[in-house]
Amino acid sequence: MTYENLDMTNEWDKTFPQSDKVTHEKVAFDTNFGHTLAADLYKPKDVKGPLAAIAISGPFGAVKEQASGLYAQTLAERGFLTIAFDPSYTGESSGQPRYMASPDINTDDFMSAVDYLTCRDDVDVGRIGIVGICGWGGIALNAASADPRIKATVASTMYDMTRVGGNGYFDEQDNAEARNAARQAMAESRTREAKSGERFRVGGVANVIPEGAPEFMHDYWDYYKTPRGYAKRSLNSNEGWDATGTQAYADTRFLTYIDEIEAPVMVFHGEHAHSLYMGKAAYEKMAAGPYAANKQLVIVPGAVHCDLYDGGERGFIDWDMLATFLDESMR
């Protein structure tokens, strides 16, 4: 029983080819905040017995037809039961108004995915892990610090969305003046929406990257705006978030207790990723804690941020390494 009946397509509309090594089906599950999340479930063919399971989401502003689905299908080929889900308010999942994000609701999205997996007869409930990509890497760490049912976590090419939301990129707006200016702009957006009764969106990745923009904006364009990664329900590929959709991330802080995560964690990042400083900071906090022995920082030589969405042109993702980490961590 779910809170809402979702309108989920049966069309294969992913950004990657369908594998003949796994089965695929659409599923849905409820969250503690009253939303129903849409997910793709992948399961290896001809495998018997309860399986280790992985819940996957991200990047932030993406949908399950993009990187999370690729991770899910590829890990299922290596023996896991996997789900890639659309977060609340996005994709085929429920939630009104649309295109909103919330630190507590998004953290619960991951824990609700774990709830769903624990209720399946084909899942070994003592072997459930999560993978978060980009902004969902930070959310995955937040969920893992709250939920000991999560026996292994991979934070891939991670953002800490609360750090970016409050401090700007590279902490360049980490001051009261900049934050107050951002708060004023957000307040004006809220007033406009309240008075008009309409919702406005801020735009996803630009169709044309302006001259002088940071290199990572070109990397985003190369993924989200080309056949490589474009998806019709993706916020980043299209009109982006609601104008007030990410407000809560600016005045919240993740990762406070990640040094208390007892289960293994891998922070998986590219050497040239603009986001590497956030992955390093998360790893260093965990490595300074009492459970440092099972924490890993894996830096992929030559890779930029989006290369770990799908491997990029040079196949930067070592899928067997990820699968081995998850499998051995949950034994």
CA angle 101, 75, 128 (to 5 degrees): 65
Contact 310, 16 (CB under 8 A): yes
Distance, in Å, from the CA atom of 258 to the CA atom of 285, rounded to the nearest integer, reads 7
For the cut 90, the answer to whether the pLDDT of residue 294 exceeds it is yes
pLDDT per residue as tens digits for the range 222-240: 999 999 999 999 999 999 9
Burial class of residue 121 (count of CB atoms within 10 Å of its CB; 0-12, 13-18, 19+): exposed
pLDDT of residue 49: 86
Distance, in Å, from the CA atom of 243 to the CA atom of 185, rounded to the nearest integer, reads 10
pLDDT of residue 2: 64
pLDDT-based confidence at 19, cuts 50/70/90?
very high
Q: What's the rounded mean pLDDT across residues 111-130?
A: 98
What CATH code is assigned to 22-160+254-329? 3.40.50.1820
pLDDT of residue 229: 98
**Given the structure tokens 């001259």, which residue do they identify?**
211
For the cut 60, the answer to whether the pLDDT of residue 1 exceeds it is no
What is the CB-side half-sphere exposure of residue 113 using CA atoms within 13 A?
33
- Residue burial 232-265, b: 16+ Cβ < 10 Å; e: rest: ebbbbbbebbbbbbbbbbbeeebbeebbebebbb
**Of 174, 305, 324, 155, residue with least CA distance to 236:** 305
Distance, in Å, from the CA atom of 71 to the CA atom of 84, rounded to the nearest integer, reads 8
Distance, in Å, from the CA atom of 68 to the CA atom of 328, rounded to the nearest integer, reads 21
Question: Mean pLDDT, the chain, as a whole number?
Answer: 96
pLDDT-based confidence at 282, cuts 50/70/90?
very high
Q: Where are the beta strands (DSSP E) in 122-261?
A: 123-133, 150-156
pLDDT per residue as tens digits for the range 262-277: 999 999 999 999 999 9
For the cut 90, the answer to whether the pLDDT of residue 44 exceeds it is yes
The first and second tokens of residue 312, run together, are 């990029």
Contacts 24+ apart (CB under 8 A), 319-323: 319/74, 319/75, 319/78, 320/78, 322/75, 322/131, 322/154, 322/266, 322/268, 323/75, 323/78, 323/79, 323/80
pLDDT per residue as tens digits for the range 126-168: 999 999 999 999 999 999 999 999 999 999 999 999 999 999 9
| DSSP output for 175-198 | SHHHHHHHHHHHHHHHHHHHHH--
